[in-house]
Chains A and B, each alone.
Chain A
Amino acid sequence: MIEIRNLQYRTVHVDHLDIPHGITTIIGRNGSGKTTFLRLCAGIVVPDAGTILIDGKPPRQTDIGWVNEFPDRNMLFSNVRDEIASPLRFRNSTPGETDRAVQRIADRLGIQNLLSRQVQSLSGGEKVLVALAAALVFEPGIIILDEYDSHLDEKRYLQIEQVLVESGCDYILRCTQQMETAAKSDYLLMLENGDFIHEGIPPDVFPLLITTIFYPLSWRAGL
């Protein structure tokens, strides 16, 4: 369980929140605090008050995979192989283990042909795949994705959705502006002005939003 207690950071304020295993999606308007909340969970920033514990450990003591919204901002290196290998190199894995793990994740994501390419030459969707590979290569228990789908077309989005489901991560925490994506979650959270105003499984949360545009169109169609 991800346990959040008395959390305060800028506009984000959470008294008591438990996030179960599985895919949890956060929705909300621009500026509601989604990215800030995800950055807190990833340990990128530290709260002013309160705690976040992922299976009893704070984020900075947990292995976390992170994917940013902007594909270009997920890149440290100029070539794809170095980018994907970087988390393992930083963890002092042996070169042999690193090479094998990079090949494994490239096979899983179907990006073997990208390994020898320069990052600048990739399309937006390919960059997201590379960022995802770098986030999953060290087999983290949790992966956090900040609106990763906003630069993806339907084909790439479905491909990545499959990868996430099969990733083996205990927690997949993401935010999105696509309500069809949010509908496919195990748990749903809605943020407004830094507070969680709705939480629960999608069939419990979305009916509360039926008069708004946050209700999935496919659900209106009965699909």
Chain B
Amino acid sequence: MKLVLDHLTLVQDNFSLTAHGEFLEGIHLVSGAVGSGKSTLALAIAGLISFESGSVLRDGIGPMMLSFQFPDYHITGMTLEEECVSWGCKPEEIFSPSDLHGKNHQSSFSLSRGELKQFHLSCLLNKHYDLLLLDEPFSSLDCESKKKLCHRISYQTTGITIIFTHEQVILPRVDRIWEIKDGKLLDRGTLPDAIRRWCGASSLIKKLIAQEQIPHNISYEDVLEAVCRT
């Protein structure tokens, strides 16, 4: 199974983006500045917007899902239980183990933004998708929730998972890093070599590289391990 972007060109009011490459099975990070086109690329891959030229080929890919940056864009049910069911999830699987226990009949709009994001991601990650696109999954989450999310993402052992984010500190282990820079999607390669080529790495990772203490991967634990080596 693979996702192929063949000279894809996206043009919007204030930017243009070209993307060419193959996403194989595994976890991919697409990083880039705010406004660089990450969300637009995600929408194009999901087939939700048209593009100027090129093509998107989902070879051998069955079920697909895109998680929007703002979870309230996904709401189609008035109560949390209706929302849960709209995702094809069983309420007892989502509500029982979580902090939302007993809140089935609460309005979908009653949660704080972080709680809504956590709820939405719980429903999403409860199902398997061959292609899972996560647009800024860490925004609105607190540090502990980000870490839990990274842990859950690491269970995505099959299928293609693409994380579009500008988060730099709490990240999951990934198989490949991509970067949007100057209107182009650039393939930085596999880990750990990709870290050296990654322009959007955090200042801490750049300092570790300068000290020749390259983390094995970009997760919080890997960076912490590299810090402890210094």
Contacts and interface: CB of A to CB of B under 8 A. Distances in A.
Touching in the complex, A and B, CB below 8 A?
yes
Interface of A: 28-31, 35, 69-70, 121-126, 147, 150-156, 177-180, 212-214, 217-218, 220-223
10 contacts: A30-B118, A31-B114, A124-B34, A147-B140, A150-B139, A154-B203, A217-B169, A217-B220, A218-B204, A221-B207
B147 A221 contact: no
Contacts of B99: 31
B47 interface: no
B35 A223 contact: no
Interface in B167-222: 168-170, 200, 202-204, 207-208, 220
Contact of A124 (B32, B35, B146): B35
B140 A153 contact: no
A142 B200 CA distance: 33
Given A123-B34, A151-B34, A212-B143, 4 more contacts: A30-B140, A154-B203, A179-B169, A217-B224
Contacts, number: 90
Interface residues of B, number: 39
B130 interface: no
B144 to A, nearest CB: 6
Interface of B: 13-14, 32-35, 70, 99, 112-115, 117-118, 136, 139-147, 166, 168-170, 200, 202-204, 207-208, 220, 223-224, 227, 230
B49 to A, nearest CB: 16
A152 B136 CA distance: 11
B33 A151 contact: no
Contacts of B147: 213
Given A220-B224, A221-B204, A153 B144 contact: no
Contacts of A178: 169
Contact of A155 (B13, B33, B170, B223): B33
A152 B33 CA distance: 8
